[in-house]
A and B are shown apart, each in its own frame.
Chain A
Amino acid sequence: MIRLTDVAKEYPRSGVALAQVSFEVKKGEFVFLTGPSGSGKTTILKLLYMDDKPSQGEVWINGVSSKSASGREISKLRRRIGIVFQDFRLLEDRTAEANVRFALEVTGAPKATIRPKVARALTQVGLASKATSYPRELSGGEQQRVAIARSLINDPFVLIADEPTGNLDERATRGVFQLLRDINASGTAVIMATHDLDLVRRSSYRTIELNHGRLVFDSAESPASARPPDEPFEAFDTPSDSMRPI
Chain B
Amino acid sequence: MTIAFSLFAFGLFGLVAINIRRALEQVEERVEVRAFVSDSADIESVAAAMKDVGEFPEVRRVDYVSKEKALERARKEMGEFADVFEAGVLPASIEVHLRPGMRSPTIVKSVADRIRTYQFVDDVRYGEEWVEKLYRLRNIATVAGIALGVAFAAVAVIIIGATIRMTVLARAKEISIMRLVGATDMFIRLPFLIDGLVKGVLGGLLALLFVWAANRVINEYFIQTIFFDREMIFVGVVGGALMGVMGSLVSVGRHLRRI
Contacts and interface: CB of A to CB of B under 8 A. Distances in A.
Interface of A: 49, 71-72, 75-80, 83, 89, 91, 102-103, 106-108, 150, 154
B66 to A, nearest CB: 80
Contacts, number: 44
B178 interface: yes
B181 A71 contact: no
A72 B184 contact: yes
Contacts of A80: 182
Most buried by A among B180, B183, B187, B188: B180
A108 B179 CA distance: 13
Interface stretch (B29-37, B77-85, B169-177): B169-177
B128 interface: no
Contact of B177 (A77, A91, A108, A154): A91
Interface string B190-220: 0000000000000000000000000000000
Contacts of B72: none
Q: Would you call the interface of chain B mostly helix, strand, loop, or mixed?
A: helix
A78 B185 contact: no
Most buried by B among A49, A83, A103, A106: A106
A89 B182 contact: no
Interface residues of B, number: 14
Contact of B183 (A49, A89, A107, A150): A107
A52 B181 CA distance: 15
Contacts of A75: 179, 182-185
Contacts of A106: 178, 181, 183, 187-188
Given A106-B187, A108-B187, A89 B181 contact: no
A214 B104 CA distance: 77
Contacts of A78: 179-182
A75 B180 CA distance: 8
Contact of A89 (B180, B184, B185, B188): B180
Contacts of A77: 182
B182 A107 contact: yes
